[in-house]
Amino acid sequence: MKKILTCLIICCTVLRIRAENGHELWLRPRTALPVRVICERSSPALAIARRELEDGWVGKADASVVLAFTKDRAIKGDGFRLGQRGIEAKTDAGILYGVYELLRRQQTGLPISEEVCNPSYERRILDHWDNPDGSIERGYAGGSIFWRKSNPFAITDGDKVLWQQYARADASVGINGAVLNNVNASPLILSTDYLARVKAIADILRPYGIRTYLSVRFSSPVQIGGLTTADPLDPGVENWWKEKIKDIYQLIPDFGGFLVKANSEGQPGPQDYGRSHADGANMMADAIRPFGGIIMWRAFVYKASDKDRAKQAYAEFTPLDGQFRDNVIIQVKNGPVDFQPREPFSPLFGAMKKTDVMPEFQVTQEYLGQAVHLVFLAPMWEECLKSDTWQGGPGSTVAHCTDGSLYPQRYTAIAGVANIGLDSNWCGHPFAQANWYAFGRLAWNNRLTSGQIADEWLRLTFYPIQRQRKEPAGYQADWETHFLQPVREMMLRSREAAVNYMMPLGLHHLFSANEHYGPGPWWAPQKVRPDWTPPYYHKADTGGIGFDRTNTGSDAVSQYHEPLRSQFNSLFTCPDMYLLWFHHLPWSYRMRSGRTLWQELCYHYEEGVRQVREFQNIWDKVRPYVDDERFVLVQSKLRSQSSNAQLWKDACLQYFGQFSRQPIPPDIERPVHDLDDIIRDDTMRR
Amino acid sequence: MKKILTCLIICCTVLRIRAENGHELWLRPRTALPVRVICERSSPALAIARRELEDGWVGKADASVVLAFTKDRAIKGDGFRLGQRGIEAKTDAGILYGVYELLRRQQTGLPISEEVCNPSYERRILDHWDNPDGSIERGYAGGSIFWRKSNPFAITDGDKVLWQQYARADASVGINGAVLNNVNASPLILSTDYLARVKAIADILRPYGIRTYLSVRFSSPVQIGGLTTADPLDPGVENWWKEKIKDIYQLIPDFGGFLVKANSEGQPGPQDYGRSHADGANMMADAIRPFGGIIMWRAFVYKASDKDRAKQAYAEFTPLDGQFRDNVIIQVKNGPVDFQPREPFSPLFGAMKKTDVMPEFQVTQEYLGQAVHLVFLAPMWEECLKSDTWQGGPGSTVAHCTDGSLYPQRYTAIAGVANIGLDSNWCGHPFAQANWYAFGRLAWNNRLTSGQIADEWLRLTFYPIQRQRKEPAGYQADWETHFLQPVREMMLRSREAAVNYMMPLGLHHLFSANEHYGPGPWWAPQKVRPDWTPPYYHKADTGGIGFDRTNTGSDAVSQYHEPLRSQFNSLFTCPDMYLLWFHHLPWSYRMRSGRTLWQELCYHYEEGVRQVREFQNIWDKVRPYVDDERFVLVQSKLRSQSSNAQLWKDACLQYFGQFSRQPIPPDIERPVHDLDDIIRDDTMRR
């Protein structure tokens, strides 16, 4: 039926726009002009650089581009200098990144001026939560591109092509690392058969400058090593890791290191043996140090018994500051709870002054509508990176606290949990590709704005390819006015819309059950630990709503540096967007808007629904500028998003309305679902 | 959860309003004042009249009311004269109707002036489509109040109480007949055991002036009589019916007669034996005549082979005009197809000048949202009754053509297909009670307006009972302004809203499958006869939409009397509301509004959705004036109606959009469902 629809509807454009399934991402084939590439050296990476230029050159025909190596100290790591003559860099990867930057500027119409571009983070890593059986935890775009269930060790030409396409896309935005498996790691990943496959993948990624990493299970020595303990201070354990690491480096000499989730959500860890996170991380760090590897140790820890989950990572890790080896880097999620639509930044940023710290963002939209909702995440990451921690005085943004500009770090790194799967368009939702793109771009340059990134991505991904040569005069200006501007606006407003229709005003974790998609502020089965249920977070009752984290509550505010501590603690200065994160307030609380808290909540949910409807309108209007395949897919997903938004609003307002005991203001559209029905349908799905 | 909600929300009224489950209908108990009832005769009906006055008197305390019999020729049949002293009538039933009218005027605050009130139709009948197994065809309010599956012949006190409550409600609005079983009749209804139960019911209904009728299956002589034929000209068959009728009248001396659906939708009939409808009806009429009974013979006939179902009743019955016995009355549905949200009136009205004809309305909302949508049907019936057929010159309305004022009729009658079941509120939806009420009121007086009826019904059904004695000054005026006016408006607009969101501009029968609830303009399984599928009716293709019934099409227009024939035939004069009933038009057809047909269709669907949302708003605002139980139920049903309306709009606009090949205008809210998904969900439900 969708095909019929697609076929029947006549495109209003002058020229037919080529159907696109999105597999080409932002790297769509161009009709290139001739170019002469001059490079004194040769290597697999340089060969790629040359081919990219030849295949994608849309600059002056028959121009010459020089790819040159330099010792210029202005260029750091894999950075490069862009100039009229070409690209200078210190490394092969630097040349490659320069080529991609040059082509991007050509294709987006940006000026190419003399400029040095250095990466903000040395390691820009995608964490794939892919399981050896081919499934992906929190993956919404099909199975794993790395692993599969049947015939798991066969490596086909198709696999190799896909891995290469993946590597190219990563490199084109500056990503230089990939953790190939889930942080909830199977010990099997360190078995000989799996390591052989890891090596095959690493060999494909390497020419694109991408290092391979693995997540490891702390108890691997017991589970696949036959030892009786995984105690990090046990010499047998230490030895097992050393041997295993040696094996890995024999296969993959540039192996990046390990990512470890330990003593978190049921994962084994050093605390099982009475040891600290530092003991565990350092043992591994020592074992991998001779090979140049690093240990990324996650700070995402919390216990069911604690009264405020938001405090726990800080409480557990700050006492260990200074105790970690210099090849350990603590991986900290952007917020103190768990990738919610909005959280304040984690207080660990800037607090561990003697320890390398790396931010972990979630590219896959676990809590943001998965592959259904159009939510551009760059604004969320930008909000976090630009948050001032005050840990080193004013201007100590999360970006500065992690990129080495505030504290010396042996390593700087940033991780994004990937949203990539076997779907032909990689990410499930065409606009979810923008989040992959944005993560890479921000990892390279953490000063970029969301608007710049959206602009680039839209130009690369949606400017009609067929038109390059024969478009009518004025077409580009028309496209910019009628497609680029409204769609960019939609992207930039999309995250705030999601916050509005899901959990505004600092509310968080209102999801039903474990799939983290639909609303479930009521969801609290007896068997489930309280800190995995929404009532733990919203604390709504007839007295009010919100989590009191002030100094008379859980005192989580004290984990923030002044003046934030006081700012968050006081109702007069706490920003509305964090209000119910830090405060439990009566329903009649008078907001700055003049509305009561209850009314304000209603207006936010309503606003969210209206915003998505407006996105639908925006998208429907750009039909003449988009190929049918992507147009229809996005249109369909926006419809689902719109009805989901309505469901969120209906569920939350009716659920909280039981406590507020106040009606929904009359100028707000009425619910179309009964709360009873929503709960029943939700329960039936379990 | 609903209970929690109900309990938690504090009622904003000064006084608590008594919870009501709706079982008392418009006859809610009052705190009566003393009254002296004077009546010279006594009978069961008069005893009821006396009790009603004593229990419901809210006029002057200690007044006297005289119930008197008269021979005044101004009073017809069961009519009555209302006066300052009391009520005069010719029959017991007339006295009873006068009492209900008097109490209604007291309770609604209408003046009681000297006035003669005569019924428009002599027989005012509810057709119950109840099956002997206790189910109800097109029933949406629980099982049958007359029949049940288990222990079918036991008669409990509960049964009798319910039948009496039913009879009282009927009598209070002037209904004086009940067909106790489905027109798709089981022959079993004429068996001894079932007739015993019919007698028991008739005995309860009788004091309320209600006659009992039965639907019979034409083939009963074969199926339960052991005959080899049901040929109406066969003497054995004739004799069987005579004997059966004699048996019935021995049990029920005032038995009303038979309702027959013959040679229609697979039901047996005289045509099975090469006989005409007249042959069949007359045989039965002759058999029942000695007992004073009538035969109501349905004109609802059509064959799968014919090209325009709308023409068939007229084509089959007008040639028989004059051939029917005078105790046969032809029962004609309001429209030529089948109880659609909007149809022009059936051309049979006024066309059969030598035959008694009675209108059949459908009180149960088979095609109008069943017990979920709030749709007040009086405007639809008023539209039909006031339609001018021109058959006897201008002013020959359907009302005049059927109530004996235009043509002499031995019998006048009107039937409504009941919406009554075992649900505690009788009709499933609290507002569906208004349709039962309205049918009775219009049957009594076919000149009443929908507005008058809605006003009466709302005052009787919703004015807070607890307040009668102690309400604050000005409460009634406040109630009228803030409850009565907006809710009456909502009722009066509700049918047009349903037309808008289901099938505007003369579209009809767009329902999916046989349950006649959700949208299914695409629904056309190969095994289903075409005239039971929507494409037969809408005929949408890329060339346009609508059923061409003009004189160059099926020529159904020719069944209407001039000037209607020309009016409907011409695009310049055909009303918009019947446009696609009579015309197949291109999508680009320019409407009077200036919009194209496609755009106009879009705006109608959109308007329907917005109207239901407005109904939600209206209802939510009247919360202080309504008891919680009914408030919450109506609120919940309006929510479903609102999301159903959205689904109708999304389904129809996307389905037709495939043919119109035009986008939905940008100022119309975008669909939130994909057509593919709607069709898939619909298919999965089958």
Residues of chain A with Cβ-Cβ distance to B613 below 8 Å are 669-670
Does residue B685 register a pLDDT over 90? no
CB contact under 8 A, A5 and B679: no
Cβ–Cβ gap A679/B620 under 8 Å: no
Cα distance from B661 to chain A (closest Cα, Å)?
5
For residue A647, give how far its alpha carbon lies from the nearest alpha carbon of chain B (Å).
Answer: 11
pTM of the model: 0.92
- A498-547+584-685: CATH topology: Alpha-d-glucuronidase, C-terminal Domain (3.90.1330)
Residues contacting B41, CB < 8 A, separation 6+: B69
Number of H helices, E strands in chain B: 22, 13
Average pLDDT on A554-568 reads: 98
Sequence letter at residue B324: F
User: Nearest CA to A258 among A338, A163, A329, A360?
Assistant: A329
Q: What's the rounded mean pLDDT across residues A108-122?
A: 94
- Across residues A628-640, what is the average pLDDT? 97
**A637 vs A616: CA distance, rounded Å:** 10
> Do A672 and B617 count as a contact with CB atoms less than 8 A apart?
no
C-alpha distances in angstroms, A286 versus A245, A326, A400, A411, A429? 11, 10, 28, 16, 42
- Phi, psi for B414 (deg, rounded to 5): -150, 140
- Among the partner-chain residues A2, A10, A638, the one whose CB lies closest to the CB of B676 is A2
pLDDT score of B188: 96
The residue behind tokens 């080899």 is: B228
- β-partners of residue A333 are A360
Cβ contact B75:B88 at 8 Å: yes
Asked if B180 and B201 count as a contact pair (C-beta separation under 8 A), the reply is yes
- CA A451 to CA A453: how far, in whole Å? 5
Asked if A1's CB is within 8 angstroms of B675's CB, the reply is yes
Q: How far apart are CA B81 and CA B102, in angstroms?
A: 10
Residue A14 has pLDDT above 60, yes or no: no
Q: pLDDT tens-digit profile of A459-477? A: 999 998 865 556 788 999 9
Which DSSP symbol is given to B75? S
- The answer to whether residue B468 scores a pLDDT higher than 60 is no
Amino acid at A174: G
Q: At what angle do helices B235-251 and B192-205 cross, to 10 degrees?
A: 40
| A661: nearest CB among B2, B8, B640 | B8
The verdict on whether A366 is a catalytic residue reads yes
At B246-277, the pLDDT tens digits run 999 999 999 999 999 999 999 999 999 999 99
**Residue B393 contacts by C-beta under 8 Å, 6 or more apart in sequence?**
none
Q: Which of A170, A308, A366, A455 is catalytic?
A: A366
Q: In the block, which residue shows the tokens 């209070």?
A: B172
What's the Cα-to-Cα distance from A415 to each of A85, A99, A179, B614, rounded to whole Å?
A: 34, 24, 9, 49
The answer to whether the CB atoms of B613 and A670 lie below 8 A apart is yes
Which residues of chain B form CATH 3.90.1330.10?
A: 498-547+584-685
Nearest CA in chain B to A672: B639
Write the secondary structure of A102-115 as one string of H (helix), E (strand) and C (coil): HHHHHHHCCCCCCE
Q: Which residues of B are catalytic?
A: 265, 338, 366
Beta strands B177-179 and B123-127 are parallel
Q: How big is the CA angle at B331 (ends B333 and B192), to the nearest 5 degrees?
A: 120
**Cβ–Cβ < 8 Å for B443, B175:** yes
- C-alpha A182 chain-centroid distance: 15
Q: Are the Cβ atoms of A661 and B9 closer than 8 angstroms?
A: yes
Cα angle at B54 between B52 and B55, to 5 degrees? 65
Q: Which residues of chain B lie closer than 8 angstroms to A673, CB-CB?
A: 639, 643
Nearest Cβ partner for B663 among A620, A657, A670: A620
Cβ neighbours of residue A564 closer than 8 Å, sequence gap 6 or more? A388, A389, A390, A557
Q: Which chain B residue shows the shortest CA-CA distance from A654?
A: B5
Shortest alpha-carbon distance between residue B5 and chain A (Å) = 6
Within chain B, all domains assigned CATH 3.30.379.10 are found at: 28-118
**Average pLDDT for residues B400-411, to the nearest whole number?**
95
Query: How many CB pairs lie under 8 A apart between chains A and B?
Result: 92
Q: Residue A675: which of B1, B621, B623 has the nearest Cβ?
A: B1
CATH of the domain spanning A123-447, picked from 3.30.56.10, 3.20.20.80, 3.40.50.2300, 3.40.640.10: 3.20.20.80
CA atoms within 13 A on the CB side of B431: 31
Contacts of A482 in chain B (CB under 8 A): none
Q: Is A265 a catalytic residue?
A: yes
Tell me which residue of A577, B341, A558 sits closest to A569, measured CA to CA.
A558
Please judge whether A617 and B664 are an interchain contact, meaning their C-beta atoms are less than 8 angstroms apart.
no
Six-digit token pair at A30? 């161009």
Angstroms from A672 CA to nearest CA on chain B: 4
Q: Which helix (H) or strand (E) holds B296?
A: strand B294-298
The predicted-structure confidence for B93-122, as pLDDT tens digits, reads as follows 999 999 999 999 999 999 888 999 999 999
Instruction: Tell me if B623 and A5 make a contact (CB, 8 A cut-off).
Output: no
pLDDT band at A84 (very low <50, low <70, confident <90, very high): confident
Contacts of B659 in chain A (CB under 8 A): 8
| Mean pLDDT calculated for residue range A657-686 | 93
CATH architecture of A28-118: 2-Layer Sandwich (3.30)
Distance CA B564, CA B557 (A): 8
SS3 A634: helix
Q: Which of A20, A52, A338, A650 is catalytic?
A: A338
pLDDT of res. B469: 57
CA dihedral (A158, A164, A167, A172) positive or negative: negative
Please compute the mean of the pLDDT values over residues A117-135 and round it to a whole number.
Answer: 98
Q: Does B670 sit within 8 Å of A617, measured CB to CB? A: yes
Rounded to the nearest angstrom, the minimum Cα separation between A369 and chain B is 16
Question: Beta strand A294-298 with A115-117: parallel, antiparallel or unpaired?
Answer: unpaired
Q: How many helices (H) and strands (E) does chain A have?
A: 22, 13
Q: Which helix (H) or strand (E) holds B619?
A: helix B597-621
Contact B673 A643 (CB under 8 A): yes
Average pLDDT over residues A57-65: 94
Note the pLDDT of residue A8: 36
How many CB atoms lie under 10 A from the CB of residue B77? 17
Beta strand extents in A418-534 (DSSP E only): none
In this structure, the number of other CB atoms found within 10 A of the CB of residue A553 comes to: 18
* Residues B129 and B139 sit within 8 Å (Cβ to Cβ): yes
Report helix, strand or coil for B107.
helix
Give chain B positions within 8 Å (CB) of A663.
Answer: 9, 620, 623
CA–CA gap between residue A612 and residue A634 (Å, rounded): 13
Strand, coil or helix: B36: strand
Q: Which two tokens stand for residue B357?
A: 């004809």
According to the model, what pLDDT value does residue B1 have? 43
A620 to chain B: which residues are within 8 Å by CB? 663-664, 666, 670
Query: What is the Cα–Cα distance from B642 to B633, expressed in whole angstroms?
Result: 14
> Residue A9 and residue B639: Cβ atoms within 8 Å?
no
Residue with tokens 């006003």: B455
In chain B, residues with a C-beta closer than 8 Å to the C-beta of A676 are 1-2, 636
The shortest C-alpha distance from B669 to chain A (Å) reads 7
User: Residue B312: what pLDDT?
Assistant: 96
Q: Tell me which residues of chain B have a C-beta less than 8 Å from any C-beta of chain A.
A: 1-2, 4-5, 8-10, 542, 613, 616-617, 620-621, 623, 636, 638-640, 642-643, 646, 650, 654, 657-659, 661, 663-664, 666, 669-676, 679
Distance CA A11, CA A627 (A): 9
Nearest-angstrom CA–CA distance, B165 and B156: 14
Binary contact (A661, B616; C-beta < 8 A): no
Contact between B96 and B88 (Cβ < 8 Å): no
B387 close to B347: Cβ distance less than 8 angstroms:
no
B507 in helix, strand or coil?
Answer: coil
Shortest Cα–Cα distance, A66 to chain B (Å):
50
The H or E element containing residue B331 is strand B328-333
Q: Which two tokens stand for residue A611?
A: 């915003």
Q: Report the pLDDT value the prediction gives residue A618, as an integer from 0 to 100.
A: 98
> Chain-wide mean pLDDT for chain B?
95
End-to-end CA distance of chain B: 30
Closest of A645, A649, A567, A569 to residue A601, by C-alpha: A649
